Structure 1
């Protein structure tokens, strides 16, 4: 999976779980036969929602991924304490919940420790207005993309070179540097 899609997916999972725990705390407690613990479930939901929002909105994702791992450890410890409670019908739900949280914990650990999860930010060559800080023309990129297999010679006439750069600009979806300089 893409290094940027996994944290984003985990962020949406956190938001969904958090909203579910906040909204249906009594029902979750009833299902697991843990009456009187709706406040704990809501607190877990608030933590999950906060972590999800952090993953989706903050450029530095690794701390939020480790926050998910810490939250999973808390969830597992709380679920572990409920496994010894009597109630055959709820025991199946408790065991299934524990297995599900354990699986999610493994995914969270993988995502948090993956070396390729980096800070999500704009490339360094973009300025605040969204245009390139330096012109991409002259980098050789336009000639490479716009050349259509032709070798680029130093004697190429300026009109042909300009046409190739415009073609490359369109293919790559790059902004026109001339209109960017006029806006400034």
Structure 2
């Protein structure tokens, strides 16, 4: 269990992020067209998982915008924005913002992704939503960088995540 904060108050996740140099857990998430996507669909590509509670909050929306901007310059890399938002909310947001360099994937059906990656929040008003975290996975499916953002209201360290990809 990771201890983070929500508006300065202690909060906890159900587990820990995968360890660096470990095999990334596979997942089944729902794309905006309601099809299922798994990590296997990105085989041979580097993957940045931008994980957050909801695209309808300011910091979460900012992270999607920032990764969308940076993703256009990354070679052989996919940025996957993951939350429990319904795929329709993701589609609406990305269309309104003109975002096309990131993919949005939802864990709304089973919540298994949040459990496998240790990011489901166990308490706070955001209980059962995903915490804010970043996981970088190399083209071989191994975790090379993780960040569990310590305060839900903070942005992730974009620079560190992007440097992790640049160093692959």
TM tier relative to shorter chain: under 0.3
TM-score (norm 1): 0.23
Instruction: Return the structure number with greater strand share.
Output: 2
By relative contact order (CA 8 Å, sep 6+), the higher-ranking structure is 2
TM-score (norm 2): 0.25
